[in-house]
Amino acid sequence: MKKQEITINESPLSIATGQIARQSSGSVIVTHGETAILVAVNAAKEAREDINFFPLQVEYRERHYAGGKIPGGFFKREARPSEHEILTSRLTDRPIRPLFPKSFKCETQVIITVLSSDGENMADTLAGVGASAALMISDIPFNGPIATVRVGRIDGNFVVNPTRTQMEDSDMEIIVSGNEQTIVMVEGEAKLITEEEFLDAMKFAHGPIKELIGLQKSLIEGMDILKRDTPEDDTDEELEKTISNMISSKIDAAIKTGDKVDRENQISALKDEAKEAFAESHPDSEKLVSAYVNSQLKTAFREQILSDSVRSDGRKTTDIRPITIETGILPRTHGSALFTRGETQAIVVLTMGTPRDEQIIDSMDIDAKKKFFLHYNFPPYCVGETGRIGFTSRREVGHGNLAERAIKEILPEYEDFPYTVRIVSEITESNGSSSMASVCGGSLALMNAGAPSKGHVAGIAMGLIKDGDRYAILSDILGAEDHLGDMDFKVAGTRDGISAIQLDLKIEGISFELMEEALAQAKAGRNHILDIMYEAVPEPMEMSKYAPKVLSLQINPEKIGGLIGPGGKTIKKIIADTECDVNVDDDGIVTVASLDLKRCQEAIEIVRAITLEPEVGMEFDGSITRLMTFGAFVEFAPGREGLIHISEMEWRRVEKVEDVVKPGDSVRVKLIKVDDQGRLDFSRKALLEKPEGYVEPPPRERNPRGGGRGRSDRQGGGRRPFRRN
């Protein structure tokens, strides 16, 4: 076994190889603190001939045993990957995919398994380091190494790979991958930081990234690694030149066609024309002909932008496509918006629920609940195609998570808006940056639902065309500009700062100076979109009549048991009497939900009465529950009783309690005493008018604790009565 180690955030981080999974092409164990992952990589022996892409599969899996847990559910084993596992697989895939030779078509797998988790040092960033190291020591051609880190900021100071505890105090969470020269991938969220602060975080991250790359190089040093030969691309220079001469003028016309469908139809016709023209002379070169047409298209597309600063739809590099906004388009939903930007369109729908609708997270390290989640759907019809439906793709999970991160920062505080919120973005048209359309639509749907959000948030996707020293940064990119360009840089935020960010590159990196320029251009574009959104929906609208009404109340956590009652009897009675949904959290926040606001208010008043700390002088409306020889018990809140002594019934002398009240009677009483055990004495006569000439009767013998009046009588519920000496 060979092992190398450094210190990251005051904990040892090591990479070891040679002991486990030795039949794999490359395998490593990466450990940080007491968190450890196994990464194994392999590639098929033969290349796939039927594809024009690199068949890379990255799978990150967490095992519950790593955190000392047994999975929930009936089968008690890990099932389909969680959202976090899918997102981590994507975070590992994105920075390494551009580093394989384009001609390498052997199916390649990177499998990452979390073996141990200390609950503090997170495994997701270790996956990128481990994947790079395992590929470097394998026989698979790979232009690495790269490394991945998480950046947080606590009290204004950047922290690399912060622990879970430290992240609770951090105002940003940004995952960064890079090589020795620069940054190649970014994904994260922040509490509205400036562009300058984001850039500082990237520069800070690059230091630890270079340290981790150095660690990998130390591991590889002295190892006898033999890489596979990289196959050469099939080329036919004469055929390529002939095709170029034949279609160059038509390609120029196609790339200047603004409509996406028309442009794609023209390109498809060009491919068919070229294939037909060379069908006899080059019968086995159909794929090669198509590849040359695509190459010609890419070159012409990029050159037009670099030379003329004009894009295929006629826009300048900084122009934003026309935007239209409609809200409240779905009558029975709680909030909805139709956001259209050029040929990208999203119907975004918001649903408000109760605490019962919270999403339960049962992972290796965390048992928690989410009050806000955003789901993104990308059906094949949105790009005019047919395709498989019925499952959620990794792309849909990733885009939904990015939009969720962006919107999370503008959500109102739970105390002001005690709802579980679900937003669903249905992409109905797509031609560039549908995830950012989901951000804008989600913000508008929040306002349409009447949520007191902290203002609008908007997103924009930036592109890059770079050829040597020449480059062009593109605002609000089209699908073709994403496909044929070098960068997809998504930035979301408010007028006050950035809330979410994502950067993917198809080249080996960009300079910090170019990134700074792209951020400034993105800010101008984002503010332009925000102006249009504020003009359409300047403030929260009236809440839908179909939305549940939710009220909340903070109670003393020590009163939770009394509110729930024995076996849930008390809270069940509140639910039955008021027809409301009542929930109480461990921290004492009680939420009441119903379509009827009046019912909610009734339930809140009952909860308030049950959890109230009674003080002498307070008045209550109650109901007589039991009669005793010495008085009557009155229930002033579900499960809470007090005694009206016979002497406190009337101003006159009462011989029998039943002469004044009977079970079920409604009475109003005043609290006159709380004894040292919390038992309550009420008076009925204190609220009655004192008769003229009233003479105080002689005191009768009083045994306030007698007559079978035990603890259970005084407080209600099945508590053990007092023992008498």
pLDDT digits (tens, 9 = 90+) for 508-523: 888 999 999 999 999 9
Domain with CATH 2.40.50.140 in the chain: 619-715
Whether pLDDT at 367 is above 90: no
* Beta strands 420-429 and 372-377, pairing class: parallel
Q: What 3-state DSSP class applies to 475?
A: strand
User: Check: CATH 1.10.287 for 237-308?
Assistant: no
- The residues, any chain, with a CB within 8 Å of residue 229's CB and separated by 6 or more, are none
Burial state string for 80-102 with b = 16 or more CB within 10 A and e = fewer than 16: ebbbbbbbbbbbbbbbbbbbbbe
* DSSP string computed for 229-254: PPPPPP--HHHHHHHHHHHHHHHHHH
What pLDDT does residue 382 have?
94
Q: What 3-state DSSP class applies to 163?
A: coil
Closest CA to 657 of 695, 684, 691, 690: 684
What pLDDT does residue 714 have?
43
Rounded to whole angstroms, how far apart are CA atoms 276 and 270? 10
Rounded to whole angstroms, how far apart are CA atoms 435 and 348? 11
Domain with CATH 3.30.230.70 in the chain: 2-220, 323-536
Q: What confidence tier does 613 reach under pLDDT thresholds 50, 70, 90?
A: confident
Domain with CATH 3.30.1370.10 in the chain: 549-611
Which residues are paired to 14 by β-bridges? 5, 31
Burial class of residue 381 (count of CB atoms within 10 Å of its CB; 0-12, 13-18, 19+)? middle
Burial state string for 146-163 with b = 16 or more CB within 10 A and e = fewer than 16: bbbbbbbbeeeebbbbbb
Region of poorest pLDDT, from 144-148, 304-308, 398-402, 712-716? 712-716
Phi, psi dihedrals of residue 250, rounded to the nearest 5°? -70, -35
Whether pLDDT at 725 is above 90: no
Show the DSSP H helices in 237-378 as ranges. Answer: 237-255, 260-277, 286-308
Domain with CATH 1.10.10 in the chain: 237-308
What pLDDT does residue 300 have?
85
What pLDDT does residue 462 have?
96
Whether pLDDT at 713 is above 60: no
Rounded to whole angstroms, how far apart are CA atoms 132 and 92? 9
Of the chain, the percentage scoring pLDDT greater than 90 comes to 62
Rounded to whole angstroms, how far apart are CA atoms 147 and 214? 10
Give the H or E element holding residue 668.
Answer: strand 666-674
Most confident of 393-397, 596-600, 700-704: 393-397
CA 498 to chain centroid, in Å, comes to 16
Rounded to whole angstroms, how far apart are CA atoms 292 and 298? 10
pLDDT digits (tens, 9 = 90+) for 455-501: 999 999 999 999 989 999 999 999 989 989 999 999 999 999 999 99
Domain 619-715's class?
mainly beta
Identify whether the C-beta of residue 186 lies closer than 8 Å to the C-beta of residue 180. Answer: no
Rounded to whole angstroms, how far apart are CA atoms 56 and 46? 14
DSSP symbol at 510? B
pLDDT digits (tens, 9 = 90+) for 89-139: 999 999 999 999 988 999 999 999 999 999 999 999 999 999 999 999 999
Identify whether the C-beta of residue 96 lies closer than 8 Å to the C-beta of residue 144. Answer: yes
**Average of per-residue pLDDT values in the chain:** 90
pLDDT digits (tens, 9 = 90+) for 49-70: 878 789 999 999 999 999 999 9
DSSP symbol at 676? T
* DSSP string computed for 583-615: EE-TTSEEEEEES-HHHHHHHHHHHHHHH----
Whether pLDDT at 717 is above 50: no
Domain 2-220's class?
alpha beta
Closest CA to 234 of 282, 291, 279, 296: 291
pLDDT digits (tens, 9 = 90+) for 276-293: 877 777 776 777 778 888
Tokens encoding 219: 């591991």
DSSP symbol at 720? P
Rounded to whole angstroms, how far apart are CA atoms 114 and 49? 34
What pLDDT does residue 699 have?
64
- The residues, any chain, with a CB within 8 Å of residue 56's CB and separated by 6 or more, are 93, 96, 97, 100, 108, 109, 110
Rounded to whole angstroms, how far apart are CA atoms 60 and 155? 32
What pLDDT does residue 243 have?
79
pLDDT digits (tens, 9 = 90+) for 233-265: 767 677 778 877 787 777 888 887 778 888 888
pTM of the predicted model, to two decimals? 0.84
**CATH-assigned architecture of domain 323-536:** 2-Layer Sandwich (3.30)
Whether pLDDT at 355 is above 90: no
Rounded to whole angstroms, how far apart are CA atoms 37 and 124? 9
What pLDDT does residue 281 have?
74
Instruction: Count CB neighbours of 300 within 10 A.
Output: 18
Rounded to whole angstroms, how far apart are CA atoms 268 and 455? 44
Instruction: Count CB neighbours of 582 within 10 A.
Output: 23
Region of poorest pLDDT, from 267-276, 364-373, 668-677? 267-276
Q: What confidence tier does 707 reach under pLDDT thresholds 50, 70, 90?
A: very low
Identify whether the C-beta of residue 141 lies closer than 8 Å to the C-beta of residue 101. Answer: yes
Closest CA to 423 of 347, 362, 494: 347
What pLDDT does residue 703 have?
52
Closest CA to 456 of 400, 522, 530: 530
What pLDDT does residue 107 have?
95
CATH number of the domain located at residue range(s) 549-611 in this protein: 3.30.1370.10
Whether pLDDT at 716 is above 60: no
What pLDDT does residue 559 have?
87
Region of poorest pLDDT, from 194-208, 531-545, 631-645? 631-645
Cα dist from 343 to 185, 310, 318, 445, 478, whole Å:
27, 18, 17, 20, 9
- The residues, any chain, with a CB within 8 Å of residue 534's CB and separated by 6 or more, are 456
